[in-house]
Amino acid sequence: MIQTLLELNYSVRAIARFIKRSPSTVSIEIHQVTPYKAEIAHALALKKRHLRGLHDTLTPAIAVFLNHHIGILKWSPET
């Protein structure tokens, strides 16, 4: 829909009204793929959705930091 409306020279605000989304959301979507192609944007969205939640929350750097400070301050796990 966005690609078609862009080809018809609709403004970002007009597209946003038409698809009932915020103009900033539409603007971000358009600027992620230049020139905007729906197929490429869809593939990118699927890739980003697939990557959600796959990162580790406890990185090695954070683990070292926590172990260092727990040892110095003698924190207990409950703290």
- For 9-66, write each residue's pLDDT tens digit: 999 999 999 999 999 999 999 999 989 999 999 999 888 887 776 666 777 888 788 7
Mean pLDDT to the nearest integer, 6-11: 96
Look up the pTM and report it. Answer: 0.61
Please give the angle made by the CA atoms of 30, 5 and 13, to the nearest 5 degrees.
65
Q: What is the pLDDT, as a whole number, of residue 54?
A: 64
Q: What is the pLDDT, as a whole number, of residue 60?
A: 81
Please give the angle made by the CA atoms of 62, 46 and 42, to the nearest 5 degrees.
135
